[in-house]
């Protein structure tokens, strides 16, 4: 190769001007042998173009193999791209039709952009070396089955001069791509021998989905043509050229005679420069990809998405960093690395990036622990050394200026330029580089010396050195051992220029450690933050379809911006879809009219912010044109799409979705039409569709799975251009799932649907991504802004009720009544009614009552329904309404019933929906009438006034007032009760008679727990919470060997699982063979408090228990109240190790009185007489008395017995434990057997006794008399407890008596 | 970890060397940041701005304390009798005088004094000791200033 062409860049857009040292041929010119000329008609070679490389000319210029097509699509640039939809098992090839000249041995690089779409690109591609084959045995069954997936291979097909294919060279591309992004792929190959032509070539092997390629380019410059030759004079001696330029030879070495000159063609190198616009962005900002490695086209720029983190492997990522000399310096153990000049992302380029060998310039510790810049020089510290380096953009100009041992610093963050010096924090304190460098020591004279002691105490500069046992560390004289900081603080400094101050603070140590890299950051998709979730208050309506069957009337709603929700339920039954998106959904099927609509629902888009969402799964076939969610304007009877209604449906092609607003009665889309086009709508696939309306721009958008939306403006202007409700019959509007405009007969859609919602906001893209939740959705309850309050439920189960004592109720006035209650129950059989509440006037006529009926009620229409009823003062029913929904579904419901006797109106709402079943046979429409008034009323929650027909489910949230209210929505958020205003009674409009919203009715009503809880009886009232343990009997529980923990709840459930008794397990009560059980209910949470329990047990141990167990009662510290002569008539002693009180003669009495006084508030006191053993030899009498000062709680001299357990031997063979109150008999205890007895009391001084027989372990028998004393606010004092009786008893003796009290 | 910050102020006095102060904040400073001329401090989830005329930190008033090291007036070991002192400054304050440098508790009872005592008589405070440490405590919630202080001493050394 000879000759050199010298070219000069021309201005952009101009042709290249040749400035050649090689002259062109000239006529009549003398040429010496060896002279070189070029043709005067030389033309520069150019890169051969790939025909239709960007496919913008349409389907031409390419040979399309299996699956390939060229079509309008979202191309990388322009509007066209080649797409391959994939055919299973059949590779598809795409080959350009241009035969480009190529010479053998030429290296060609080709590139293009590829988008894998949503194809799942897997690594399971079976790759063979180029042109290798994989031989399988012959036979029809010998297949090699590769995993599904796709790959793309890019390369060339080479042809010989006869256009015969001689070789295909391809490069399989990396398949580690994210879906739906464009990536650049390249391939480089060398033309094989005999190559004359080459064609661009792509091969895919996709089994599913769509792959797109676009924008091919290569660097092929054809070689071998004559235009590449220059010509050398080879004649002997000099000669003159002819007049006419010769016809130049076209082969290398070819000669031509030109007058006296003989020219020989020789190969030359030519370069053609063409000025092109480079890196010019487009007219509009591209949509930036969010996936690392994705590329987007912008003008003639292809932008690639890269992560912000520096990914150069030589970047140490340490926290010791300084900027100097247009570079970033960072400590890296024993060296200090620096980046390339002006490119902090590059830490590798030789002779630009590199490192300073700081570790080689010191004798002590290595490891860079601080960096700073002092007067343009880099300061490098480790714990014992300090270096100053001259730094420069040119690495070769960097040099070590100084290195000083003994001046170390381990606190990079405390290095701070101050004025013209550099402060740093050494082990001794704050020092400056100017002084330290000048004096080469740290000890004296520096700025920080005055506070050294203070700083040292803060820094805790010295760590510790732990030596193995027996080892000593011997240091030579005058040697000191510096240890690294213990690392509890991370000193931090700054310079405050406007005050001229250096601040040194001591924040706690962070995760970064001097000299170490901070924890690596794992890139990934940022978690969806619930910060982006919209608020629950922005929901206009939300259906979650959780009901197992029925009309799916459950929804959450509120009235917003004129969007009031009607009260009609979905009126067609559908099957349950389980599991749905969140819990259950519904199945919409074309057959059998299984569609859903909701009438009376006005959802005004108008000029409001508005959104709607629906989730669904497609089935095995797609209903093209089928409606998904729509709103109608015509009557229920003939659903037709009316003016300014909207519909969301599958498009007519069945491959995408379409949202339309109709501006005329005819079926057109002239309001707005959002058509997604072909999105490859798939069967058996989950979709979330979101429609939004932005009133500011009047744009509506349709999102699919939180992707990029299709957006269009509403026709008609920017403001108030669409008002769905204003031109239609308000009451007949529908929101419908699955209908089409022609009614019930055609173009229905079969889907599995869940989570339909309408919003009063224009959801943002971030909102939608958050709600999408990676395809999992959210429950309404998970939205932020929920009222977290949820009234607690009390378990009644016919075990008790709340009541006012007869004649001691409230005073009713007027002829209106209102009751609200939050309840839940399951179905029951037996045709027994259960009363949720009943309130009677003084003479027994019911002002209001709610009765729920059994599932086998004799009147079929009442089964599982609730009936509310009001009588006038004469006892005639003047209102009787039945619910139109079943309430015995184990779901929480809110019943709102109010009656106005003056106007004859009633409001009956359940869960925010009008519940009046107008077709109820026995319905008594609200009629004007006077209700009974006056005091001495009778109130019951959970039972009828006769205390029968008791409630079997749960009850929370209750209230009663004698006024007429209709504001049901004020008590709820959606169908969830809200916390009430207890001071202003905003919801009640005045103070109610009784109410409670925390799971108990304790305001002016007394708890009544049914007597005689025994196995098979009912469950007591208690909070709703599951027990930790459950057994069918106490004997089985005790024999289970289970490890109960103090505070566990033990449930003894009957064989039919219908009833149970709950106990609390108190470890401290496990003594004398007793199991430690205490009845958990009806004592509520008073016994659940761990602190209370612990304190009580400690009190027991300290004051009573241990002293009484096996001690002479004389040393108990109790008062001897015995009568007669001690040791003659009675005695306190020990009998075979047991404490004993004994009446010796029967003429006196024996008793001891505790010294303790106990003040009871609302908690329950449990008094336990453990191991009471009564002899048969003696007569009956009080065993335990609880004294209480009567009247004035502080009047200790006026004591009355408030509770008593007595032993009654009036029956021949049995001792009885009884309470003093008549009729409160307990059960028997056997003679001679230690028996545990409980007495329970609360602030009402309601007493009970419980017997637990040690031999047979019945499930406990509990009796509680109805509460007699009104509640007091300041508690009740139990003055003392007396064991035995000083005046009346002829009691025998106690053995092994222990007394425990608990608060 | 500490709620105190050591601050070296460059522009005090005529000498070139700055002075150290010790600030105690009702929080632990974790990060410094600058915006324009202001200094911001992060502590927990709050960011505070350093403002010259503020007299409380995050609503907490803070006292200002000036304490001199043990001054022997260039005659170590000799008892001196301080008869009183004068003070020039602004703000309400109290004074204590240390008289036993071997203990942190060897100070006179703290009492309030006027901020500027130059007019009229000196403030009498007889204390005898080989060295003294004066401790002035300015009340919180005010902008105070100390300008100068004069101690009136009598050296007990023989011949003085």
Residue A818 pLDDT = 95
Which of the residue ranges A153-157, A235-239, A279-283, A1191-1195 would you say has the lowest mean pLDDT?
Answer: A1191-1195
Mean pLDDT of A67-93: 80
d(CA A508, CA A579): 50
d(CA B6, CA A105): 73
Which chain B residues have a beta carbon less than 8 Å from that of A493?
32
Which chain A residues have a beta carbon less than 8 Å from that of B8?
418, 423, 430, 447-448, 501-502, 504
Return the structure tokens found at A1081. 């209910």
Nearest residue of A to residue B12 by CA position? A500
Listed residue (A350, A332, A333) closest to A341, CA to CA: A350
Specify the DSSP class assigned to residue B40.
Answer: E
d(CA A673, CA A653): 15
Listed residue (A892, A887, A843, A895) closest to A869, CA to CA: A895
* Cα A757–chain centre separation: 19
Q: Across the interface, do B7 and A502 touch by the CB < 8 Å criterion?
A: yes
Looking from the CA of A1094 toward its CB, the CA atoms found within 13 Å total 3
pLDDT band at A753 (very low <50, low <70, confident <90, very high): confident
Q: Across the interface, do B10 and A419 touch by the CB < 8 Å criterion?
A: yes
Best-predicted range by mean pLDDT among A712-726, A929-943, A1096-1110, A1116-1130? Answer: A929-943
Cross-chain CB nearest to B2 (options A423, A450, A506):
A506
Cross-chain CB nearest to B32 (options A498, A503, A506):
A503
Q: Does residue A467 surpass a pLDDT of 80?
A: no
d(CA A809, CA A1204): 29
d(CA A668, CA A662): 6
Q: Hey, is A765 helix, strand or coil?
A: helix
pLDDT digits 0-9 by tens, A1041-1066: 888 877 677 776 655 444 456 676 77
Return the structure tokens found at A869. 């009823």
Listed residue (A909, A919, A915, A923) closest to A881, CA to CA: A923
Return the structure tokens found at A1070. 């496990």
Q: Across the interface, do B18 and A496 touch by the CB < 8 Å criterion?
A: no
Q: Which residues pair with A1170 in a beta bridge?
A: A1298
Cross-chain CB nearest to A505 (options B5, B18, B20):
B5
Mean pLDDT of the residues in chain B: 85
How many CB atoms within 10 Å of residue A824? 18
Nearest residue of A to residue B24 by CA position? A505
Residue A871 pLDDT = 94
Percent of the residues in chain A that have a pLDDT greater than 90, as a whole number: 14
Mean pLDDT of B4-16: 72
Q: Does residue A1138 surpass a pLDDT of 50?
A: yes
More confident residue, B104 or A973: B104
pLDDT band at B30 (very low <50, low <70, confident <90, very high): confident
Nearest residue of A to residue B11 by CA position? A500
Return the structure tokens found at A429. 């304190």
pLDDT band at A623 (very low <50, low <70, confident <90, very high): confident
Nearest residue of A to residue B36 by CA position? A498
Q: Are strands A421-425 and A954-961 parallel, antiparallel or unpaired?
A: unpaired
Listed residue (A523, A522, A488) closest to A507, CA to CA: A488
Q: Across the interface, do B6 and A430 touch by the CB < 8 Å criterion?
A: yes
Q: Across the interface, do B10 and A418 touch by the CB < 8 Å criterion?
A: yes
Mean pLDDT of the residues in chain A: 70
pLDDT digits 0-9 by tens, A926-941: 999 999 998 878 888 8
More confident residue, A296 or A576: A296
Residue A371 pLDDT = 93
Nearest residue of B to residue A497 by CA position? B37
Cross-chain CB nearest to B9 (options A458, A493, A501):
A501
Cross-chain CB nearest to A507 (options B1, B10, B39):
B1
Total number of residues shown for chain B: 160
Angstroms from A490 CA to nearest CA on chain B: 8
pLDDT digits 0-9 by tens, A501-512: 889 988 876 544
Q: Which residues pair with A263 in a beta bridge?
A: A233, A256
Q: Does residue A1234 surpass a pLDDT of 70?
A: no
* Cα A998–chain centre separation: 28
Q: Are strands A1029-1031 and A1049-1053 parallel, antiparallel or unpaired?
A: parallel
Q: Across the interface, do B32 and A492 touch by the CB < 8 Å criterion?
A: yes
Q: Across the interface, do B30 and A492 touch by the CB < 8 Å criterion?
A: yes
Q: Across the interface, do A504 and B32 touch by the CB < 8 Å criterion?
A: no
Residue A312 pLDDT = 86
Q: Across the interface, do A505 and B29 touch by the CB < 8 Å criterion?
A: yes
Cβ-based neighbours of A1167, under 8 Å, separated by 6 or more: A1184, A1186, A1238, A1239, A1240, A1241, A1281, A1299, A1300, A1301, A1302
pLDDT band at A924 (very low <50, low <70, confident <90, very high): very high
Residue A604 pLDDT = 59
Nearest residue of B to residue A413 by CA position? B31
Angstroms from A533 CA to nearest CA on chain B: 23
Q: Does residue A248 surpass a pLDDT of 80?
A: yes
Q: Across the interface, do B28 and A507 touch by the CB < 8 Å criterion?
A: yes
Nearest residue of B to residue A423 by CA position? B8
pLDDT band at A1301 (very low <50, low <70, confident <90, very high): very low
d(CA B37, CA B49): 11
More confident residue, A1137 or A527: A1137
Which chain B residues have a beta carbon less than 8 Å from that of A508?
1, 28, 30
Residue A491 pLDDT = 87
| For testing contact with chain B, the best of A503, A504, A509, A511 (most B CBs within 10 A) | A503
**DSSP of A509-554:** P-S--TTSPPPPP---PPPPPGGGSPPGGGEEEEE---SSSTT---
Q: Does residue A11 surpass a pLDDT of 50?
A: no
Q: Does residue A741 surpass a pLDDT of 50?
A: no
Q: Does residue A139 surpass a pLDDT of 90?
A: no
Angstroms from B36 CA to nearest CA on chain A: 9
Q: Across the interface, do A507 and B31 touch by the CB < 8 Å criterion?
A: yes
Q: Hey, is A489 helix, strand or coil?
A: strand
Q: Does residue A19 surpass a pLDDT of 80?
A: no
Residue A1200 pLDDT = 56
Listed residue (A149, A154, A142) closest to A177, CA to CA: A149
Residue A1193 pLDDT = 36
Q: Each residue of B91-121: b (16+ CB within 10 Å) or e?
A: bebebbbbbebeeeeebbeeeebebebeeee
Nearest residue of A to residue B28 by CA position? A507
Cross-chain CB nearest to B2 (options A447, A458, A502):
A458
Q: A482 and A459 in contact (C-beta within 8 Å)?
A: no
Nearest residue of A to residue B30 by CA position? A507
Which chain B residues have a beta carbon less than 8 Å from that of A498?
37-39
Q: A215 and A125 in contact (C-beta within 8 Å)?
A: no
Q: What is the ipTM of this complex?
A: 0.86
pLDDT digits 0-9 by tens, A820-858: 998 888 888 888 899 999 998 888 899 999 999 999 999
Q: Across the interface, do B28 and A508 touch by the CB < 8 Å criterion?
A: yes
Nearest residue of A to residue B49 by CA position? A496
Q: A1216 and A1225 in contact (C-beta within 8 Å)?
A: yes
pTM for the structure as a whole: 0.38
- Using beta carbons and an 8 Å cutoff, which residues of B are at the interface with A? 1-2, 4-11, 17-18, 20, 22, 28-32, 34, 37-39, 50, 52
Q: Does residue A549 surpass a pLDDT of 50?
A: no
Angstroms from B156 CA to nearest CA on chain A: 31
Taking CA atoms, A1054 is separated from A407, A418, A927, A1017, A1031, in Å, by 82, 82, 47, 8, 8
The secondary structure element, H or E, covering residue A557 is strand A556-557
Cross-chain CB nearest to B22 (options A418, A448, A454):
A454
Cross-chain CB nearest to A504 (options B6, B39, B52):
B6
Q: Across the interface, do B1 and A502 touch by the CB < 8 Å criterion?
A: no
Q: Does residue A214 surpass a pLDDT of 80?
A: yes
d(CA A866, CA A819): 14
pLDDT digits 0-9 by tens, A583-610: 777 777 655 544 555 544 555 566 678 8
| For testing contact with chain A, the best of B8, B15, B25, B44 (most A CBs within 10 A) | B8
Q: Each residue of A627-666: b (16+ CB within 10 Å) or e?
A: bbbbbbbbeeeebbbbbbbbbbbbbeeebbbbbbbbbeee
- Using beta carbons and an 8 Å cutoff, which residues of A are at the interface with B? 418-419, 423, 430, 447-448, 450-451, 454-455, 458, 488-489, 492-494, 496-509
Residue A1262 pLDDT = 35
pLDDT digits 0-9 by tens, A786-824: 544 455 566 676 766 777 765 566 888 999 999 999 888
Q: Does residue A9 surpass a pLDDT of 60?
A: no
Best-predicted range by mean pLDDT among A252-256, A282-286, B90-94? Answer: B90-94
Return the structure tokens found at A137. 């045995």
Residue A1051 pLDDT = 72
Token pair 């970064």 is found at: A512
Return the structure tokens found at A509. 């140590």
Q: Are strands A1225-1229 and A1215-1219 parallel, antiparallel or unpaired?
A: antiparallel
Mean pLDDT of A443-450: 71
Q: How many CB pairs under 8 A join A and B?
A: 83
Which of the residue ranges A179-193, A531-545, B109-123 would you say has the lowest mean pLDDT?
Answer: A531-545
Cross-chain CB nearest to A455 (options B6, B17, B37):
B6
d(CA B103, CA A423): 33
How many CB atoms within 10 Å of residue A602? 18
Cross-chain CB nearest to A447 (options B8, B31, B50):
B8
pLDDT digits 0-9 by tens, A660-703: 876 554 444 556 788 888 998 888 899 999 999 887 777 889 99
pLDDT band at A1289 (very low <50, low <70, confident <90, very high): very low
Cross-chain CB nearest to A450 (options B7, B9, B20):
B20
Mean pLDDT of A404-433: 85
Q: Does residue A514 surpass a pLDDT of 60?
A: no
Q: Across the interface, do B10 and A500 touch by the CB < 8 Å criterion?
A: yes
* Cα A270–chain centre separation: 65
Residue A567 pLDDT = 29
Which chain A residues have a beta carbon less than 8 Å from that of B7?
501-504
């Amino acid at each position: 190769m000879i000759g050199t062409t010298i070219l000069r860049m021309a201005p952009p857009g101009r042709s290249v001007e040749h400035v050649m040292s090689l002259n062109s041929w000239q006529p009549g010119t003398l040429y010496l042998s060896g002279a070189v000329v070029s043709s005067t008609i030389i033309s520069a070679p150019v890169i051969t173009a790939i025909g239709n490389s960007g496919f913008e000319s349409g389907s031409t210029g390419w040979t399309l193999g299996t699956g390939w097509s060229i079509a309008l699509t979202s191309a990388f640039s322009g509007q066209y791209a080649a797409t391959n939809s994939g055919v299973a098992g059949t590779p598809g090839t795409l080959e350009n039709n241009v035969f480009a000249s190529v010479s053998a041995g030429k290296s060609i690089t080709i590139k293009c952009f590829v988008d894998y779409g949503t194809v799942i690109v897997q690594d399971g591609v079976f790759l063979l070396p180029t042109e290798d084959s994989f031989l399988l045995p012959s036979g029809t069954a010998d297949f090699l089955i590769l995993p599904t997936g796709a790959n793309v291979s890019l390369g060339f097909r080479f042809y010989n001069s006869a256009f015969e294919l001689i070789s295909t060279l391809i490069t399989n591309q990396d398949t580690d791509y994210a879906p739906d992004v464009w990536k650049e792929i390249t391939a480089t190959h060398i033309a094989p021998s005999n190559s004359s032509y080459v064609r661009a070539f792509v091969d895919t092997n996709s089994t599913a989905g769509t792959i797109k390629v676009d924008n091919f380019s290569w660097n092929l410059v054809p070689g071998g043509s004559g235009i590449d030759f220059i010509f050398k004079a080879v004649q002997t001696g000099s000669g003159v050229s002819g007049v006419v330029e010769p016809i130049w030879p076209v082969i290398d070495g070819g000669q031509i005679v030109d007058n006296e000159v003989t020219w020989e063609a020789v190969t030359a190198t030519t370069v053609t420069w063409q000025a092109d616009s480079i890196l010019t962005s487009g007219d509009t900002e591209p949509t930036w990809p969010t996936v690392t490695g994705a590329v987007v086209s912008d003008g003639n720029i292809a932008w690639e998405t890269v992560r912000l983190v520096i990914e150069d492997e030589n970047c140490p990522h340490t926290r010791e960093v300084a900027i100097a000399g247009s570079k970033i310096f960072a400590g890296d153990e024993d060296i200090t690395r620096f980046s390339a000049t002006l490119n902090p992302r590059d830490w590798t380029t030789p002779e630009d990036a590199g490192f300073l060998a700081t570790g080689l310039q010191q004798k002590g510790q290595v490891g860079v622990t601080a960096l700073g810049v002092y007067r343009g020089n880099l300061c490098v510290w480790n714990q014992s050394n300090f270096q100053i380096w001259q730094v420069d953009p040119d690495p070769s100009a960097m040099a070590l200026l100084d290195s000083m041992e003994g001046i170390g610093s381990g606190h990079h963050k405390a290095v701070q330029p101050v004025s013209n010096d550099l402060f740093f924090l050494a082990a001794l304190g704050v020092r400056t580089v100017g002084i330290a460098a000048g004096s080469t020591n740290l000890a004296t004279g520096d700025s920080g010396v005055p506070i050294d002691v203070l700083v040292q105490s803060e820094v805790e500069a010295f760590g510790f050195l732990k030596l193995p046992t027996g080892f000593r560390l011997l240091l030579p004289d005058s040697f000191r051992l510096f240890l690294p900081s213990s690392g509890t603080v991370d000193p931090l400094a700054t310079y405050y220029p406007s005050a001229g101050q250096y601040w040194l603070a001591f924040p706690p140590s962070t995760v970064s450690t001097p000299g170490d890299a901070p924890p690596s950051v794992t890139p990934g998709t940022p978690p969806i933050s619930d910060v982006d979730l919209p608020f629950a208050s922005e929901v206009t309506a939300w259906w979650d379809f959780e009901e197992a069957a029925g009309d799916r009337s459950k929804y959450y709603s509120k009235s917003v911006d004129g969007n009031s929700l009607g009260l009609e339920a979905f009126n067609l039954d559908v099957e349950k879809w389980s599991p749905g998106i969140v819990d259950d959904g519904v199945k919409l099927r074309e057959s059998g009219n299984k569609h859903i609509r909701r009438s009376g629902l006005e959802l005004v888009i108008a000029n409001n912010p508005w959104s709607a969402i629906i989730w669904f799964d497609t089935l095995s076939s797609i209903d093209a044109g089928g409606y998904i969610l729509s709103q109608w304007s015509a009557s229920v009877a003939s659903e037709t799409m009316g003016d300014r209604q909207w519909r969301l449906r599958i498009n007519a092609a069945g491959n995408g979705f379409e949202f339309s607003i109709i501006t005329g009665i005819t079926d057109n889309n002239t309001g707005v039409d959002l058509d997604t086009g072909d999105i490859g709508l798939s069967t058996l696939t989950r979709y979330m569709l979101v429609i939004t309306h932005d009133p500011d721009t009047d744009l509506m958008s349709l999102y699919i799975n939180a992707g990029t939306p299709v957006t269009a403006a509403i026709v008609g202007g920017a403001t108030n251009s669409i008002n769905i409700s204003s031109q239609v019959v308000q009451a007949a509007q529908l929101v419908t799932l699955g209908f089409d405009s022609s009614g019930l007969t055609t173009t229905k859609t079969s889907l599995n649907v869940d989570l339909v919602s309408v919003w009063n906001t224009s959801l943002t893209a971030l909102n939608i991504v958050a709600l999408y939740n990676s395809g999992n959705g959210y429950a309404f309850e998970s939205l932020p802004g929920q009222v977290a309050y949820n009234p607690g439920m009390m378990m009644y189960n016919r075990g008790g009720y709340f009541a006012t004592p007869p004649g001691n109720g409230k005073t009713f006035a007027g002829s209106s009544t209102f009751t609200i209650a939050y309840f839940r129950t399951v179905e029951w059989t037996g045709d027994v009614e259960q009363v949720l509440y009943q309130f009677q006037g003084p003479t027994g006529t019911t002002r209001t009552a709610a009765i729920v009926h059994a599932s086998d009620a004799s009147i079929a229409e009442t089964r599982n329904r609730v009936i509310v009823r009001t009588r006038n003062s004469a006892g005639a029913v003047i209102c009787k309404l039945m619910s139109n929904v079943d309430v015995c579904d184990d779901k929480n419901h809110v019943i709102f019933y109010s009656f106005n006797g003056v106007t004859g109106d009633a409001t009956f709402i359940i869960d925010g929906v009008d519940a009046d079943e107008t077709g109820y046979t026995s319905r008594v429409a609200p009629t004007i009438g006077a209700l009974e008034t006056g005091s001495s009323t009778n109130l019951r929650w959970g039972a009828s006034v006769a205390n029968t027909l008791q409630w079997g489910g749960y009850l929370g949230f209750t209230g009663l007032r004698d006024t007429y209210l209709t504001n049901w929505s004020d008590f709820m958020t959606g169908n969830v009760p809200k916390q009430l205003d207890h001071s202003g009674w905003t919801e009640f409009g005045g103070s109610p008679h009784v109410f409670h919203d925390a799971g108990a009715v304790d305001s002016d009503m007394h708890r009544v727990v049914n007597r005689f809880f025994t196995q098979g009886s009912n469950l007591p009232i208690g909070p709703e919470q599951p027990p930790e343990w459950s057994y069918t009997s106490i004997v089985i529980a005790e024999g289970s060997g289970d490890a109960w923990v103090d505070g566990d709840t033990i449930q003894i459930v009957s064989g039919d699982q219908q009833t149970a008794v709950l106990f609390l397990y108190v470890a401290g009560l496990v003594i004398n063979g007793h199991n430690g059980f205490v009845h958990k209910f009806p004592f509520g949470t008073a016994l659940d408090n761990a602190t209370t329990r612990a304190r009580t047990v400690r009190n027991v141990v300290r004051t009573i228990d241990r002293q009484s167990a096996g001690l002479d009662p004389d040393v108990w510290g109790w008062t001897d109240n015995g009568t007669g002569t001690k040791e003659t008539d009675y005695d306190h002693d020990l009998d075979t190790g047991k404490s004993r009180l004994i009446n010796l003669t029967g003429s006196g009495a024996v008793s001891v009185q505790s010294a303790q006084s106990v003040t009871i508030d609302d908690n329950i006191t449990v008094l336990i007489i453990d191991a009471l053993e009564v002899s048969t030899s003696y007569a009956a009498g009080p065993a335990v008395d609880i004294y209480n000062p009567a009247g004035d709680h502080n009047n200790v001299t006026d004591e009355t017995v408030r509770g008593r357990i007595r032993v009654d031997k009036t029956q021949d063979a049995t001792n009885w434990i009884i309470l003093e109150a008549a009729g409160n008999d307990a059960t028997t205890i056997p003679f001679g057997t230690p028996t545990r007895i409980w007495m329970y009391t609360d602030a009402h001084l309601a007493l009970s006794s419980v017997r637990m027989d040690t031999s047979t372990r019945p499930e406990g028998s509990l009796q509680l008399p109805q509460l007699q004393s009104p509640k007091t606010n300041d508690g009740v004092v139990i003055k003392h407890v007396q064991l035995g009786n000083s005046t009346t008893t002829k009691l025998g003796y106690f053995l092994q008596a222990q007394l425990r009290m608990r608060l | 970890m500490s709620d105190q910050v050591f601050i070296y102020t460059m522009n005090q006095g005529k000498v070139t060397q700055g002075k150290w102060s010790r600030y105690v904040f009702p929080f632990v400073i974790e990060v410094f940041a600058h915006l324009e001329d202001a200094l911001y401090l992060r502590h927990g989830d709050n960011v505070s701005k350093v403002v010259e005329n503020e007299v409380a930190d995050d609503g907490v008033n803070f006292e200002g304390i000036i304490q001199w090291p043990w001054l022997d007036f260039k005659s170590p070991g000799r008892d001196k009798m301080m008869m009183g002192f004068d003070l020039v400054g602004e703000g309400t304050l109290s004074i204590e005088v240390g008289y036993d440098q071997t203990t942190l508790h060897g100070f006179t009872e703290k009492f309030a004094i006027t901020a500027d005592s130059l007019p009229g008589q000196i403030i009498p405070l007889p204390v005898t000791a080989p060295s003294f440490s004066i401790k002035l405590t300015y009340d919180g919630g005010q902008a105070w200033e100390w300008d100068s202080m004069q101690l009136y001493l009598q050296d007990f050394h023989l011949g003085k």
